Amino acid sequence: MTREPVPDDGLTTRQRRHQPLLAVYTGPMKGKSTAAFGMALRAWNAGMPIAVFQFVKSATWRVGEEAAFTALGEAYSRTGMGAPVEWHTMGAGWSWARKAGTEADHARAAREGWREIQRRLAAERHGFYVLDEFTYPMTWGWVDVDEVVETLRGRPGLQHVVVTGRDADPRLVAAADLVAEVTKVKHPLDTGRKGMRGIEW
Amino acid sequence: MTREPVPDDGLTTRQRRHQPLLAVYTGPMKGKSTAAFGMALRAWNAGMPIAVFQFVKSATWRVGEEAAFTALGEAYSRTGMGAPVEWHTMGAGWSWARKAGTEADHARAAREGWREIQRRLAAERHGFYVLDEFTYPMTWGWVDVDEVVETLRGRPGLQHVVVTGRDADPRLVAAADLVAEVTKVKHPLDTGRKGMRGIEW
């Protein structure tokens, strides 16, 4: 085992242990959100308040993850173990907004979601943010990439952020501390198998 | 969106929706177990009894995931939502074994773990198995790859199995329905940042 390099950044080990992480899970496979939610399990156990912002149209896509994290949030309420969990879905209408978004104004709904995230980051409201499928509103020009990068770079305190979705913009990748791709080697849907409850959703 | 190919396998859609999945998460990055546990969240919500077999020495590596899945198992016991969860760690001594394995006999402990998994598969005891870091005992020759493949191919009923770890044997990859690699694009530990609670464990 080689020794870790000592970085020339003027920080103490303790400071380096307490830096907010910006992670991006990208690439063509579905496992990127799966990996982000797996990360959130550790954050939950470490007592970081979790907030998931799901930038996808269909509210059914993450039904398994949502149910599990809701149960973890309830476990926290009941026993104090772990951390609180909030789950917000764009497709179902953001839970803090007055009414559900319609088919016609996804762009507006995405921007509203991003504004809310900006407010929460400024207020240091959560410890671990999952911005699920958030690359798409950026790709489609609904949310400005430079503004996202600036907001994330300047966020106060110890707030970890994980962004998932295909085709992450190079500016977001450049700003991220951890970038991982899930690469498909072989997938059952390629051979005509059907999606299964408990596996695909 | 292209239409899915209709496979020439003589199965109905319903049958194809109820086929047991063998998934392998491999590659050099830590996210492979993270992705497997993310998958297990969906399985839990779909009511599949979960069993995790952790083939790693240190019992602290998966402390966040273990705590979260233990909470999910308790949520099931209390409310009937989700599914029961069992978590077995080799390093801490398999919970069904009489005594903890010592440093000297990891190979024996790994084989005992595999034997227990074989018994449980034969008995259709669980719905979703995570064999975490199970590629290593195969790589090191402690557990016979051909026997693993034969057992998994012949397992009865609807039991999903996910194997994680680096350097998955080509025979296991060939037998798997889904194979994915997590590829590192950029990692904070490369630049001398320290592992953080809630992120790395």
What CATH code is carried by the domain that includes residue B122? 3.40.50.300
A16 → closest Cβ in B160, B185, B192? B192
- The answer to whether position A85 is within a domain reads yes
Task: Determine whether the interchain pair A193/B16 forms a contact, defined as Cβ–Cβ distance below 8 Å.
Answer: yes
Residue B190 inside a domain? The answer is no
Residue A57 forms part of a structural domain: yes
pLDDT at A98: 46
Residues of A in contact with B7 (CB under 8 A): 191-193
Encode chain A (201 residues) as per-residue pLDDT tens digits: 344 455 555 655 555 556 899 999 988 766 788 889 989 999 999 999 999 999 876 656 788 899 999 999 999 999 999 999 999 988 666 656 545 555 456 788 899 999 999 999 999 999 999 999 999 999 988 999 999 999 999 999 999 999 999 999 999 999 999 898 877 777 665 656 666 677 766
ipTM: 0.76
State in Å, rounded, how far the first CA of chain B is from the last one: 39
DSSP chain A: -PPPPPPSSS--HHHHHT---EEEEESSSTHHHHHHHHHHHHHHHTTPPEEEEE--S-TTTTHHHHHHHHHHHHHHHHH--S--EEEEESTT--TTSSSPPPGGGHHHHHHHHHHHHHHHHHTT--SEEEEETTHHHHHTTSS-HHHHHHHHHT--SS-EEEEE-SS--HHHHHH-SEEEEEEEEE-GGGGTPPP-TTTT-
* Number of domains forming the structure of chain B: 1
Residue A39 lies in a domain: no
Residue B2 lies in a domain: no
pLDDT for B14 beyond 60: no
pLDDT at residue A37, rounded to an integer: 92
Look at A35 and B179 and tell me if their CB atoms are within 8 Å.
no
Q: Are B52 and B87 in contact (CB under 8 A)?
A: yes
List, edge to edge, every strand of the sheet that includes B160-164.
A85-89, A50-54, A128-132, A160-164, A22-26, A178-186, B178-186, B22-26, B160-164, B128-132, B50-54, B85-89
Residue B11: inside a domain: no
Whole domain around residue A114: which residue ranges?
A: 46-152
CA dihedral (B154, B155, B159, B164) positive or negative = negative
pLDDT score recorded for residue B103: 44
Write out pLDDT tens, residues B69-116: 999 999 999 999 999 999 998 866 665 654 555 544 678 889 999 999
| In a domain? residue B15 | no
Residue partners of B18: CB distance under 8 A and separation at least 6: A196, B158
Neighbours of B178 (CB within 10 A): 23
**Residue B49 CA: distances (Å) to CA of B52, B69, B73, B154:** 10, 11, 9, 20
Cβ distance of A195 and B16 shorter than 8 Å:
no
Chain A closest-CA separation from residue B167 CA (Å): 13
Size of interface A-B (CB pairs under 8 A): 218
Q: Could B41 and A16 be called an inter-chain contact, meaning their C-beta atoms sit closer than 8 Å? A: no
Residue A26 domain-assigned?
no
